[in-house]
Amino acid sequence: MGLTLHEVSAVSLLDGFPEPTLVMDSEGIIEYGNPAAATLLHEAAVPSGASILRYLPEDERSRLAPLQWLRRWADEPAAPELKHVHLVCRTTAGERIPVQVRVGRLTGHPGHCVVMLQDVRASQARIQQTREAHRLAARMLAISADAIIAADEALRIVYANPAAHRLFEVQAGDLIGQSLDTLIPPRLRSLHRQRMKKFATESSPARLMGDRAQITGFTATGKEIPLEASIAKITTASGYVFSAHLRELRATAPSNTGPHAVVTDH
């Protein structure tokens, strides 16, 4: 016969957990810590009878009254702040480790709870790297000499950099939420929408719609301007985003109109 859960002790189960796990009473006195918790806290074994405060630096105790929060989280295991609030543990070597916490009451022992800890250093580092990448991308878009515009599937503008506002002679921020049609001469808007609709249904998830095709733009003052455009379709979790890089054509020979141009004067 196979092993039944009734034959397995709670300690044996917790010892096998890969997640650092503590069992403590309502006053924060630790009665058990599994091997994963000992490894996290740099202990040979988590000492029974130690206070949870042993592993919290002084500034962390002052920041959020940890025992009060742990009791609340035990009563409200689905509390929304659990997704956002991290505790900082201090190992016996003095290392500070941010951890995400889950707390649950022990059935039959209401004065005791199980505390599971998850080391979030790696995820925090990834979040920081992502934020830095976003800041860098935002800075690059902001200082670009090309006008850059992004529009959603409904062809509503969701992003326009400073160069785009200057090119179309509008105040900073005024393009956001506007229809892409406003940047196209009235006589060309129907054709423009047809081309965009066709491009949206093509199988390629993201590619250039035209290699620097020539199009005609329309400024807020009613002036038509010849533009060189490179337009991409990007698939996101919420649908397509169309990204256009635009450059005003000076007194030079017109560019060849590519087969996938958004709209031309023809």
82 in Cβ contact with 117 (< 8 Å): no
pLDDT tens readout for residues 56-69: 888 887 777 888 88
Query: What stretch of H or E contains 49?
Result: none
* Cα separations in angstroms, 254 against 148, 212, 245: 21, 11, 17
231 in Cβ contact with 244 (< 8 Å): yes
Joined tokens for residue 37? 């918790």
Nearest 5°: the CA angle 111, 112, 118 is 145
What confidence score (pLDDT) does residue 253 get?
Answer: 44
Mean pLDDT, to the nearest integer, of 72-97? 81
What confidence score (pLDDT) does residue 252 get?
Answer: 47
Joined tokens for residue 2? 């196979």
Residue showing tokens 């919420």: 238
Query: What stretch of H or E contains 105?
Result: strand 96-106
**Phi and psi for 152 in degrees, rounded to 5?**
-85, -175
Give the ranges where 88-247 is alpha helix by DSSP (H): 121-143, 162-167, 189-201
Does the pLDDT at position 259 exceed 90? Answer: no
175 in Cβ contact with 160 (< 8 Å): yes
pTM: 0.62
Joined tokens for residue 175? 């393009």
Helix (H, G, I), strand (E, B) or coil at 97: strand
Joined tokens for residue 172? 């900073």
What confidence score (pLDDT) does residue 97 get?
Answer: 94
Structural domains of the chain ordered from first start: 5-123 (3.30.450.20), 144-248 (3.30.450.20)
Q: Which residues pair with 248 in a beta bridge?
A: 227
Distance of alpha carbon 216 from its chain centroid, rounded?
36
210 in Cβ contact with 231 (< 8 Å): yes
What confidence score (pLDDT) does residue 7 get?
Answer: 59
Residue 264 confidence class, pLDDT cut points 50, 70, 90:
very low
Does the pLDDT at position 2 exceed 70? Answer: no
